[in-house]
A = this chain, B = another copy of it.
């Protein structure tokens, strides 16, 4: 029997690629998405499509109301920045402790599943801006997790947080995903999509994605507004 893994799946390009890598490494992936009070549901729909296409054993959506906590343009009525310099420090789209919260819930599910493996799609481009995307953070989470669980406390298990994209740039991630058969038309990256979930083309996330496809010499299957091309 394949070893079970919990794979965090946002519906974006990175987590879809991470799911494909988990499968390739021989894990039976159980995918986990969060309805955390995002301003739009486009990425939740994308996550479900990606989970189905890439044969997730079970896709779970957990509701958690992070709007009650506040502090981010992704959950509050703060304007999503457009066309800002990408090296301008931690952006307002940062959600406080988001990866810690998501990994904690993944840890709970892993414990129920008897799994010792969690996959998360954080990558090198992220950790210029987001503190909880750095290798030192992921390592510290592992150490904490082994203290937190029944199996860890009894010394029967040791959690591994897999971050296969951590050292990759966007172009490399895209090339790898295409090689593994990921259909990026199913994914959603935009922080500020239109009513039809079409990408704005100008937020940080759209711009990183488009630059990645350009650098990889591949065509992004999403349709961006003409004036942003």
A binding-site residues for B, Cβ under 8 Å: 60-66, 68-71, 90, 94-101, 104-105, 107-109, 111-112, 131-132, 134, 136-137, 140-141, 143-150, 152-154
State whether B64 touches A100 (Cβ < 8 A): no
Q: How many copies does the complex hold?
A: 2
Residues of B within 8 A of A109 (CB): 69, 96
A60 CA to B98 CA, complexed, in Å: 18
Residues of B within 8 A of A71 (CB): 108, 111-112
State whether B100 touches A107 (Cβ < 8 A): yes
CB distance from A23 to the nearest CB of B (A): 22
State whether B137 touches A150 (Cβ < 8 A): no
A65 CA to B99 CA, complexed, in Å: 17
Q: Which residue of B lies closest to A105 (CB)?
A: B101
A142 CA to B169 CA, complexed, in Å: 30
State whether B69 touches A96 (Cβ < 8 A): no
Chosen A-B contacts, 22 in total, with CB atoms closer than 8 Å, are: A60-B69, A61-B68, A62-B69, A64-B105, A69-B108, A69-B112, A70-B112, A71-B112, A90-B150, A96-B109, A97-B145, A100-B145, A101-B108, A131-B147, A131-B148, A131-B149, A131-B154, A134-B153, A137-B148, A141-B144, A141-B147, A141-B148
Contacts A61-B68, A64-B63, A98-B108; A136 near B140 (Cβ below 8 A): no
